Amino acid sequence: MAGEPQEDCLFCKIVEGHIPADVVRETETTVAFRDINPQAPTHVLVIPKVHYANAAELAAAEPQIAADVLREAQAVADEDKLDSYRIVFNTGTGAGQTVWHTHAHILGGRGMQWPPG
């Protein structure tokens, strides 16, 4: 059921503490941790503690938690002293989503090109 932890979800297991992660921030509703395959000097994932497959589903069901994810993205950028950064939500396999739990990629510390790959 949407919003509930999923047994087969990697990020739900991180939220529950069953899989270790390099956590940089945690709030009542979110967890932020360093990506294991960084694509920039700063590459942090911010996830909601509730399970929704993508950002649109999260925003429709729990808009306050969606806002929390974005607020934490800013906090990560502030802690890493980034004056420029990118927030990416991949939705669907064609966009590169590989974990079906909403997550924002915070990327910074290098120049970003447009359009993205």
Distance CA 66, CA 47 (A): 9
- R_g (Cα) of the chain, nearest Å: 13
Among 39, 51, 61, CA closest to 108: 39
Q: What is the largest CA-CA distance in the chain?
A: 40
Residue 101 annotated to the active site: no
Q: Which candidate in 43, 51, 101, 103 is catalytic? A: 103
Among all residues, which ones are annotated catalytic?
A: 103
